[in-house]
Structure 1
């Protein structure tokens, strides 16, 4: 299983133009306290770090399940890159929603699940991805429902 951050090519366009791929102006933010969940490198921000708030649609196909929502990313290219195959420890710090999708982009409601804080997001993702019809799973915050990362089987884009 691999977590997939937002594509750096998408973020390069956003940073260069000041607009997300949905035409919205991005909002520059200084994260005074740090700790924001970053979708560009799957890290947490540091105090005083410059971020951008932008709209992002994690589902790559144009289907009714494709949602656009707010995410935080580094304002400049990430100081570190996500290590492929790792699951950040902070994903277990809060309750998460796992939303499963098939190859057509349709949601697989029967395997969606909530993972309580500390219950083990990595193991839950492996269980959901064990369903042969599931090709990707979106990890979201439970309360705000905002997107965190896409999970796919190892070796799949």
Structure 2
């Protein structure tokens, strides 16, 4: 069993209020084109014409060689954090995603990374979590390597 974990609401509200991103810069504001602008908090596509934020995100507390930083989108206005048992909308809009496991030391567990077809995400997550050395999983864009969401055991 697993759950898809969106970015924490307190972190997102800080960014929506103009707080600094992973590089210390204020998030950029733009209008969504309605396709390919997934919010990492509600885990839905930001509707066309709606304000969105573009910012640098590092899903790790500390910097180290495996602490990848990259661009993400957020709804500019407050949205509800994803809390569901189904696959979130943003993980159904691409043909495949990059999935990889991490240890308790926040390092990639080699041999877990795989570009996975969308309809096989759940099975791949179960397969990766079968390894006792995997603490959590990240799902990223298979094309641009952008962080999408975290996966935790339940």
Does TM-score exceed 0.5, indicating one fold? yes
User: Structure 1 stretches (4+) deviating beyond 2 angstroms?
Assistant: 32-35, 59-63, 83-86
Residue pair 2:7, 2:81 contacting (<8 A) in 1 also: no
Residue pair 2:55, 2:71 contacting (<8 A) in 1 also: yes
Residue pair 1:5, 1:41 contacting (<8 A) in 2 also: yes
Kindly report the root-mean-square deviation, in angstroms, between the aligned alpha carbons of the 2 structures: 1.8
Unpaired stretches in structure 1, ≥5 consecutive residues: none
Deviation string 1:36-66 (CA, Å, 9 cap, x unpaired) is: 2111111111121111001111133433111
Structure 1 residue 111 displacement after superposition:
1.6
Report 1:61-140 matches (<5 A): 61-78=62-79, 80-92=80-92, 93-116=94-117, 118-140=118-140
Deviation string 1:66-122 (CA, Å, 9 cap, x unpaired) is: 1111000010111x4312333225524321111210001111011211102x44212
| The 10-residue stretch of structure 1 (125-134 or 83-92) with the greater mean CA deviation from structure 2 | 83-92
Aligned position for 1:3:
4
Unpaired stretches in structure 2, ≥5 consecutive residues: none
TM-score by length of 2: 0.88
